[in-house]
Amino acid sequence: MGIEMSGLTVQLLDIAAGALLLTAVLVVWRRELSVILRVFALQGVALAGLVAVLASAQRSVELGLVALGLLVLRGVVLPLLVRRSLAGAGPVRRETTPMLNVAASLLAAAALTLLALAVSVPLVALDPSPATRAVPVAVAVVLIGLMVMVTRRHAVSQVVGFLLMDNGITAVAFLTTAGIGLLVEAGIALDVLLVAGVLHVLTGRIRETFGDTDLSALRELHD
Amino acid sequence: MNPVEFGLAAAVAVGLAGTVAALLVPRPARPGVTGACVAVAGALGLTAGIAAVTGVTWSVHLPAVLPLAGVDLAVDGLSGVFLAVAGAVAVAAGIYGIGYARHGLDGRAVQAAFPMFVLSLLLVPAAGGVGTFGLCWELMALSSLILVLAEHRRRPAVASAGLWYAVMTHLGFVAILVGLLVAAGPADGGSFAAIRAAAPGLPPAVAGLAFMACLVGFGSKAGIVPLHAWLPRAHPEAPSHVSALMSAAMVNLGVYGVVRVGIDLLGGGPRWWWLLTLAVGAVSAVYGILQAVVAGDLKRLLGHSTTENMGLVLVGVGACGLFTVDGEAVLAALALTAALLHVIGHAAFKTLLFLSAGSVLHATGTRDLDALGGLRARMPATTAAFGLGALAASALPPGTAFVSEWLLLQSLVHGLPAAGVVASIVLPLGVAAVALTAGLAVATFVKAFGVGFLARPRGSGAAGARESPPTMLAGMALAAAACVGLAIAPMLVLPALAQVAGTLTRTGPPVSGAVTIELDGVAGAMSPVLLAAALVAGCVVVVVLVRVSAARPARRETRLWDCGGGPLTERMQYTATSFAEPLQRVFDNVLQPVQDIEVTHHRESQYLVEAVAYRRRVPDRIERRLYEPVLAAVAAWGRAGRRLATGSVHLYLGFGFAVLCGAFVMLVVTR
């Protein structure tokens, strides 16, 4: 990235990245859906903070605007949207029986973080800087998001898993490049918003049709 | 303005206008508008083609039209031949389609695909680069697929035919793309001119791979055995004017591809390329006509006959390549001239035959020859048209196919003295295959015409048949005029074709003459006009002599002798099955028909027979041996794959997760 950062900036960046990973792990740990959503909103804030730190390091107004947009979208709009679909999703407010129990999930998250660290070594080696050193954390968030999608039964936690993954991908994008342009980011944000909207409608429909949002009950999708 | 440029540009404009009009115009006027647009576009394509054949060339590069590659168009004499053929067939099919489409074929998608198909047929031979060629080829495949599927609501067989066609045409396209890209690899860009310039530097193995891939791909489009399986399925199930376009214009482009890539772009090649081409051509010709002779479905019979004729054309192309390798440029040009003339002749008579078969189907509702008959009195114009087409298709004078097959035989026979060891074995076999094909073709078309149109009706559909509307008859009349013209006066087109073939084989035109076809460089001459005149004169003399000499006994009205077994019924006539039975017996080992005779005895006595049921099927052996194992393997693979798809969302997501993590672990471990 080639941008000199002061010690304080580096520390702030590390805190933001740490918060990103911590919130991801918290999503895996907690089973109460409303708590998960709150944690997810926190992660959005952490992501926005990460981009804001990068913006201040690069003295880029454009990136600052992107950070603001991220804060609104990921810290407020998306959590609200998911919360609304949770309100309509029926009486079950807990991820009662995940495919993988919580202890095993946490171990798996730890293993995935290790894997992310190992696999990102060449990426970091390309251009060692404080920002790229945080890339493994973002990759870990992507992997944990995917794991959440695979192991959770409730439709809302699946949506959260998807959005977690997207947060991770966004973080990787900002950490590895020198900013990806306002227009591109706006496009991606719009996409994610659209996906969240579709999933919101879909959850409602699933509940209307089957009276439940447990996806493992849907077994007729093949052929 | 260059006439080729004008013709092509105007054809594209009119064709696109036809497509748009088909989408906008209300249903009653739709067939008329699209039919007229197709006919006009075809006529413009025909003029462009004729201009190109007479020596006008045109090429253009439009970088802005298509991203990355741009559009390359290049029209030379060879393109012109196929451009003109496609245009001419489109004129007849377009006019015919106006009347034909009134019966449930006036839907928006079908009518819009029709001009698009014709447009792609005109653009494929005009393409001058790999990208443009692939685009037009794919457009042709897709628009023809829509047209093949036009009647899918009426018959379930249409869907299956469409599936076969879609799969085989796309696999063929993959092969063509591989071949062209391999050839274009070392070239500077994807235009044909660049490939032609770079071809001498290709290593022999690479050139061989390119040619083989192209032969497979183009061969499957031309319906060459063993890649013919789609043809006898798709041709009968498509609407008849579409069958005519497919059989008379589209399959030609397979031959065009082989000539363009093998002879023009790659500049000839080793002997084995052309021996292979000649061999598959000869096998296709014999196998196609054998299947046709036992076919009971009128349009299926015509489809098999297409395989036969494309086989004959490939024999000519293969002979041309072989002679080029041996340095016999004049013979090579002669063989290529024969092949090109056969393409044109086949287009003319196959258009006529398919259009009149469509007229029969339209009037009787059936394609089964065993249920037809007695159409001569009810549909005189259609009967005359089919009779003319049948005569043109059988290689007898004064038929259309006779001239081209004579030229082909001349080139094969004259090649013998100069031939090496391999060629001196292959060429006589080729002559034998052409001769056998010609004989069987006569039997096939005698059967189709005699059983289908003459005698008394064998079914209720045929008994209530009515003549088709004038637009359909007009389309047939155009095709008939082309057949007669090509049969009587082939010298109208032959010098231009000879010029094209001579240019491709880097020598002069091998044929000259005005009334008589005189071969240059080898001994041989023949005059179709004089031959026809002599035949007519001979017939007249025989009729007159018989009339004069035969003593005419007094006329008596009496009942026909029926051996005392009660009045003769329609069921006692020859059927298509019984007519082909002796031939089927002769070729029993090749065809391996499945027969089933069931005798029901009378209840009272074992010695009295109540009914005899006879069932016969001639399954395609090549299909059974070659395709069924492949299809079974694919199906087994699909069943195995289905076990992975249990319907669980989590499992599907888990697959992705596991693969991603696996890939990461591999990265970490192997680095």
How far does the CA of residue A58 sit from the closest CA of chain B (Å)? 32
pLDDT at position A175 is 86
Contacting residues of B for A149, CB less than 8 Å apart: 653, 657
How far does the CA of residue A8 sit from the closest CA of chain B (Å)? 33
CB contact under 8 A, B645 and A223: yes
Under a CB-based contact definition with an 8 Å cutoff, are residues B504 and B264 in contact?
A: yes
CB contact under 8 A, B661 and A223: no
Amino acid letter for position A111: A
Q: Which pLDDT tens digit goes with each residue over B626-652?
A: 999 999 999 999 998 888 877 777 888
Amino acid letter for position A213: T
Select from A134, A147, A131 the least CA-distant residue to A24: A147
Instruction: Tell the burial category of A77 from Cβ atoms under 10 Å away from its Cβ (0-12, 13-18, 19+).
Output: middle
Residue B550, both tokens? 């035969």
Instruction: Tell the burial category of B274 from Cβ atoms under 10 Å away from its Cβ (0-12, 13-18, 19+).
Output: buried
The minimal CB distance from A221 to the residues B642, B649, B668 is found for: B649
Under a CB-based contact definition with an 8 Å cutoff, are residues B122 and B37 in contact?
A: no
**Considering only alpha carbons, which residue of chain B is nearest residue A218?**
B648
Q: Which pLDDT tens digit goes with each residue over B144-184?
A: 999 999 988 888 899 999 999 999 999 999 999 999 999 99
Contacting residues of B for A223, CB less than 8 Å apart: 642, 645
**Considering only alpha carbons, which residue of chain B is nearest residue A158?**
B650
What is the ipTM, given to two decimal places? Answer: 0.84
Q: Calculate ∠ Cα B176-B177-B182, nearest 5°.
A: 100
Instruction: Tell the burial category of B616 from Cβ atoms under 10 Å away from its Cβ (0-12, 13-18, 19+).
Output: middle
| Percent of chain B whose pLDDT exceeds 70 | 100
Select from B451, B491, B399, B431 the least CA-distant residue to B575: B451
Q: Output the furthest CA–CA distance in chain B (Å, rounded).
A: 107
pLDDT at position A1 is 45
- Sequence spans of domains, chain A: 7-217
B561 or B657: which carries more pLDDT confidence? Answer: B657
Contacting residues of A for B665, CB less than 8 Å apart: 115
Percent helix, strand, coil in chain B, to 5, is 70, 5, 20
CB contact under 8 A, B646 and A222: yes
Give the sheet arrangement for strand B517-519, strand by strand: B511-512, B517-519, B525-526
* Rg of chain B, C-alpha, whole Å: 27
CB contact under 8 A, A150 and B657: yes
pLDDT band of residue B216 (cuts 50, 70, 90) is very high
Under a CB-based contact definition with an 8 Å cutoff, are residues B382 and B467 in contact?
A: yes
pLDDT at position A223 is 44
Amino acid letter for position A68: L
Percent helix, strand, coil in chain A, to 5, is 80, 0, 20
Q: Which pLDDT tens digit goes with each residue over B503-517?
A: 988 888 888 877 788
Contacting residues of B for A112, CB less than 8 Å apart: 661
Continuous segment of H or E residues that includes residue B12: helix B3-24
Under a CB-based contact definition with an 8 Å cutoff, are residues B390 and B449 in contact?
A: yes
Amino acid letter for position B419: A
pLDDT at position B349 is 95
How would you write B335-381 as a 3-class SS string?
A: HHHHHHHHHHHHHHHHHHHHHHHHHHHHHHCCCEHHHCCCHHHHCHH
What is the rounded CA–CA span in Å between residue A198 and residue A184? 21
Measure Cα distances from B247 to B34, B99, B232, B241 in Å: 21, 20, 10, 10
What is the rounded CA–CA span in Å between residue B18 and residue B90? 13
Q: How many helices (H) and strands (E) does chain A have?
A: 10, 0
CB contact under 8 A, A143 and B660: yes
How far does the CA of residue B658 sit from the closest CA of chain A (Å)? 10
> Any chain A CB within 8 A of the CB of B666?
no
The minimal CB distance from A219 to the residues B647, B656, B668 is found for: B647
How far does the CA of residue A213 sit from the closest CA of chain B (Å)? 13
Q: Which pLDDT tens digit goes with each residue over B129-143?
A: 999 999 999 999 999
**How does pLDDT run along chain A (223 residues), one tens digit per residue?**
445 678 888 899 999 999 999 999 999 998 888 899 999 999 999 999 998 998 888 888 888 888 888 899 888 888 888 888 777 766 667 776 778 888 899 999 999 999 999 999 888 888 888 888 899 999 999 999 999 988 888 878 888 888 899 899 889 888 887 656 666 777 777 777 777 777 777 777 777 777 666 666 666 554 4
